[in-house]
Structure 1
Amino acid sequence: MCYIISWYFFLAVFRFGIFNPSTVYDHLGEIYSALIFGSLVFCILLYIKGHVAPSSTDSGSSGNIIIDFYWGMELYPRIGKNFDIKVFTNCRFGMMSWAVLAVTYCIKQYEVNGKVADSMLVNTILMLVYVTKFFWWEAGYWSTMDIAHDRAGFYICWGCLVWVPSIYTSPGMYLVNHPVHLGTQLALYILVAGILCIYINYDCDRQRQEFRRTNGKALVWGKAPSKITATYTTTTGETKSNILLTSGWYGKYWKLYCEKVRYRVIPGIY
């Protein structure tokens, strides 16, 4: 709902001449400078809050000030009872700014060149499809690493407040004054391939979450899935188990990939 409301106001102020979004592009330097500094201060305040006024018992220090600042002190820091700081920075600011800036660059290119290049259209559509998928399936986001495990520190909060709106939108930023003309056929190929990749990304997460929600009993592509039961020991010494999906998009091609790419980072070493 917040996504829809945000778009309603964005398009309304543009349609009625109240605010021209291309102004944002003209002042990106000032905006990003303010975000970099302001977000740094924000992360410092989060660090202090985690020490003096944590929102829950799911917080604590590693004993290393650098790690605590970078990784975060609290999993779910809140202002009051309902304002979740991590959710706001991730969803309401980071993801929403990604979508708005993508359209903003499209508008700016039209003002500069009198038309929108097919490369800009493909870029904007793919970004909007991805972000819209995110908000449409926002409930699924609660089971991801960002929300379930990553604490609210510099890594997540500064990243969503600065890295996402600046780096993730940079293709559109570049295309404003450097339009690339793909041609109808190539543009359609890239668009279809991009949408297919977004769908696969979504369906991988959906399969995994449905698999765990049903304790391995959900069908994957119409068949009972194969799985691995893994055990692990918590920091308190408690032994627990988890199930890993090996069917669907983690199937034979993943096994083939692992056979060919046996090292994670440094070939022959790690």
Structure 2
Amino acid sequence: MSESSTSPTNPPSSEEGTTTTVITATTHLTLPANTKPMTYEELNPKSKPTEFFGPIGTFGISILTPLFTYIFFYTCNDAVGCTPTTISGWKTAWNLVGNFPNESGYLWEWKSFAVYLGWYTYCIACWKFLPGDKIQGNLLRDGTRKTYKMNGLYTLLLTLGLSLGVLLNPGGIELFSWLYDHWVPLVSASLAMSLFQALWVYGYSFYNRELLALGGNSGNFFYDFFMGRPLNPHPPFFPSFDIKTFNEVRPGMILWLLLNISCACEQYLRLGTITDSMWTVIIFEGWYTADCLIQEHTILNQMDITTDGFGFMLSMGDLTWVPFTYGLQARYLAFNPVKMGPIWTSAVVAITLVGNYIFRQANNEKGDFRAGKNPKKLEYMTTERGTKLLTSGWWGRSRHPNYFGDWLMALGWCLPTGFRTPLTYYYIVYFVILLVHRQMRDDEACRHKYGKDWDKYCEKVPWKIIPYVY
């Protein structure tokens, strides 16, 4: 509120009979009642270890997820086929652990570790030196915003250009199959990197007094190590390098595509051709990777970035689980080729394209709306917090239509492997479990955030993932 007062005075004047009026302005500001900054403890309250059944559950997952990465290889390879069906077959698979006839099944190899370390360093160099947009993230609870450099697409294009140069040279296909031939030692190298990162950011978070994740500050080591204690960890003296967002779409996602290409090279060396099933898998999984990097800025609105801390769950998931299990279909087809034919290929392509359309349209609607744009004139409701929630378009059909699109794409990636083994369908099963759990976590967070407004929203949009079904 501003007030002005005037007071006539009679100072000396150069002209007789004149009066000078001095105007004094007084401004009153209404300040917040509590101007005291929040303390570190107030910004980072203790959390309860409830996710994934608490410390016991997170400890179990920390052991089982790396273990299954190895199981997927040792039960699905040239030596035993895919998914042994007899006791002798399982015994053979067990005997191959640590005693595999070639390098692809060696548990550890220093050359593979050096190659993986070089790959990770290359990705950092691309982040540093390639051009990219500077985009601000969401407002953090300490009142700040982080700025992210988005140039993952340029990293992908450079990598594909270099890979093409290798493939077109004499002996290039044999050279590129090196990744396929060193699968398990590369898994071990990525696991060593993810374990190191998770331990380091956990320990460092006690000394640099960074902002912590609200769900990873329980005080229990196993729980916080898995869930992630720091929200946006960065190396000392490099605050602009956010480890979590870097890992999300770069080293693991692009390596996934390179591993698929390596599997296609292996199939070509064995057959002298690449089957329609392999083409379908590498094209659609490759497009998923490219689309993710084209829309890299959209990850800033995902729960992984906004809410979850960076711990073993994300480091292992990004660096090991994604590249070495998401491409199981391509690795299976390398030694067990499937010829689909035009009719089956058309059906698989149709399912995948529909899934991709739903996934992208839903994410575009959300991205535009959060950016203050509404080109489709979608309906929405306004909560008491002032936040707006979409109630039409794809987000009026279900609360997570992008998950539905993800499921259809995942099914399209698995179908080219045929029906000889259930193991290659692990991805769709895993993704159903993952996204249902994420939907439950997201709904719980929104109910806590919006209160009764969330109940009103759920009445308007009752379907959780699959429109009109679930």
Q: 1:253 to 1:158 in 2, by over 3 A?
A: closer
Match of residue 13 from structure 1: 166
Match of residue 182 from structure 2: 27
Q: Deviations over 1:175-230 (max 9, x none)?
A: 1111111101221231232123112211111101212322xx6133xxx3222334
Residue 36 of structure 1, aligned match among 176, 180, 191: 191
Question: 1:125: Cα distance to partner?
Answer: 0.7
Structure 2 residue 57 is the aligned partner of structure 1 residue 57? no
Match of residue 250 from structure 2: 92
CA distance in 2, matches of 1:260, 1:250: 12
Question: 1:87: Cα distance to partner?
Answer: 2.2
Letter in 2 for 1:250: W
Q: Structure 1 residues 7-16 or 40-49, which shifts more?
A: 7-16
1:133-212 aligned within 5 A: 133-212=291-370
Larger radius of gyration: 2
Structure 2 residue 224 is the aligned partner of structure 1 residue 68? yes
Residue 218 of structure 1, aligned match among 374, 382, 387: 374
Question: 1:75: Cα distance to partner?
Answer: 1.6
Q: 1:38 to 1:211 in 2, by over 3 A?
A: closer
Q: 1:94 to 1:256 in 2, by over 3 A?
A: same
Q: Deviations over 1:143-172 (max 9, x none)?
A: 222222222111111100110011111111
Structure 2 residue 388 is the aligned partner of structure 1 residue 243? yes
Letter in 2 for 1:64: N
Question: 1:253: Cα distance to partner?
Answer: 7.0
Q: 1:44 to 1:58 in 2, by over 3 A?
A: closer
The normalised TM-score by structure 1 is 0.82
Letter in 1 for 2:233: P
Question: 1:261: Cα distance to partner?
Answer: 5.3
RCO greater where, 1 or 2, for CA within 8 Å and sep 6 or more? 1
State whether residues 40 and 158 of structure 1, in contact with CA within 8 Å, keep that contact through their aligned partners in structure 2: yes
CA distance in 2, matches of 1:83, 1:212: 25
Q: Deviations over 1:32-76 (max 9, x none)?
A: 12222332232111211122235x435573322222111112121
Letter in 2 for 1:27: H
Paired-residue identity, %: 29
SS at match of 2:175: coil
Letter in 2 for 1:131: T
The normalised TM-score by structure 2 is 0.49
